[in-house]
Amino acid sequence: MDTDFYRIKRLPPYVIAEVNAMRAAARASGRDIIDLGMGNPDLPPPQHVIDKLCEVAQNPDAHGYSQSKGIPGLRRAQASYYQRRWGVDLDPDAEVVVTLGSKEGLASLATAITAPGDTILAPNPSYPIHTFGFIIAGATIRSVPTTPDERYWDSLEKAMRFTVPRPTVLIVNYPSNPTAEVVDLAFYQRLVDWAKENKVWVLSDLAYSELYFNGKPTPSILQAKGAMDVAVEFTSLSKTFSMAGWRIGFAVGNQTLIAALTRVKSYIDYGAFTPIQAAAVAAINGPQDIVDKNRELYHKRRDVMVEAFGRAGWDIPPPPASMFAWAPLPPALKHMGSLEFSKQLLTHADVAVAPGVGYGEDGEGYVRIAMVENEQRLRQAARNVKRYLASMGVNATAA
């Protein structure tokens, strides 16, 4: 019996899983691990959303199969959100589909539009599904930089000139996971113009649209002129409303891509539990003060983390958006590499972070720090890190 499965063979080792396994073992042994590794929000969803879930779940008719593309009320709610937030008009029947989180949506769209051997342009470093989703579907990945400078555009031009077969899809993710880098609308307009000229689909992952700290709201690629001709965008309720475990996301935009995604999903799932979708409507259409409060909270955590870790001897650039910091390894310990450094922090400081190399080879030399613990715990993490760095001969900054 053949156990050498084609798609499993194509998957590279999941480096981050090594640290995750160590973290789980440490916790099982009773150690208090401060987990800054996984981007798992520690805040509760709004109470009115939970109340709506409970209310609809009491209805005996709400427990059957739902619709794989999402209930009409939720698709209308997402279309209204795009109109309010970005001034983008969407047809909820043809340009919106509900996904089981943005991760599932990206993977399902990869299945829908990828032929074996296709070339896909993906950022490096990037969130793993941006590459793995297409690798599983049979594609080949050509990396482009994550940093949106002129090197990025040079890389795109070289990819189109020298890659065989020519790339068919480009993935973008701003605010970036893991680097927290951001772009403006001018970047998206240039990107859309490039995509139309080169006949490339653009998939935009906008999971962190509401977590920005510079006073400039995050743009959507669909605001760019002509974007509906070439682009779809993925969003999620996971971070905006602290509903990560509810698995509600959306794909919106180009009708051809939305139709392809909708058709594939109709073969593999019946959509999210109807009471969860009804509660998602309450989140999107209801009071939005929680969005502002969460943004302010993450902003404060960012400032505490940067200040406390800096005093501990580890200078971390303040991220302009997202719930992550992209932290270069302390210079004196850079020789370790990000995986070994992450293991050392977990073993000797009881602090879990994600090794940058797990997001691509260009992530080496960095770790991703998730701001998913409260300010007190972040300060405790900094104290633990300070002791570890001191043991390695790295001096802390004087108070």
Output the pLDDT for position 398. Answer: 40
Output the pLDDT for position 396. Answer: 67
Rounded distance between C-alpha atoms, residue 261 and residue 241, angstroms:
25
What residues contact 329, with CB distance under 8 A and at least 6 apart? Answer: 336, 338, 341, 365, 366, 367
Do residues 332 and 383 both lie within one domain?
yes
Do residues 190 and 64 both lie within one domain?
yes
Do residues 222 and 233 both lie within one domain?
yes
Output the pLDDT for position 397. Answer: 59
Do residues 39 and 58 both lie within one domain?
no
Do residues 52 and 167 both lie within one domain?
yes
In a domain, 397, yes or no: no
In a domain, 399, yes or no: no
In a domain, 182, yes or no: yes
Do residues 378 and 277 both lie within one domain?
no
Contact 276, 248 (CB under 8 A): yes
Contact 158, 151 (CB under 8 A): no
Output the pLDDT for position 6. Answer: 85
Q: In 3D, which of 281, 318, 317 has the Cα closest to residue 299? A: 318
Do residues 32 and 70 both lie within one domain?
no
Number of domains in the chain: 2
Do residues 318 and 180 both lie within one domain?
no
Q: Mean pLDDT of residues grouped by 10 in the chain (399 residues)?
A: 84 81 92 93 94 97 93 98 98 97 94 95 96 94 96 97 96 98 98 98 97 94 98 96 94 98 94 96 95 95 97 96 97 95 96 96 97 97 96 69
Do residues 90 and 224 both lie within one domain?
yes
Do residues 143 and 209 both lie within one domain?
yes
In a domain, 368, yes or no: yes
Q: Give this prediction's pTM.
A: 0.94
In a domain, 398, yes or no: no
Other Cβ atoms within 10 Å of 310 Cβ, number:
15
Rounded distance between C-alpha atoms, residue 189 and residue 232, angstroms:
14
Domain boundary residue among 252, 287, 322? Answer: 287
Stretch (H or E) spanning 87: none
- Domain holding 342: CATH number? 3.90.1150.10
Domain boundary residue among 262, 287, 312? Answer: 287
Do residues 316 and 295 both lie within one domain?
yes
Domain span at residue 187 reads 47-287
Domain boundary residue among 235, 268, 287? Answer: 287
Contact 62, 274 (CB under 8 A): yes
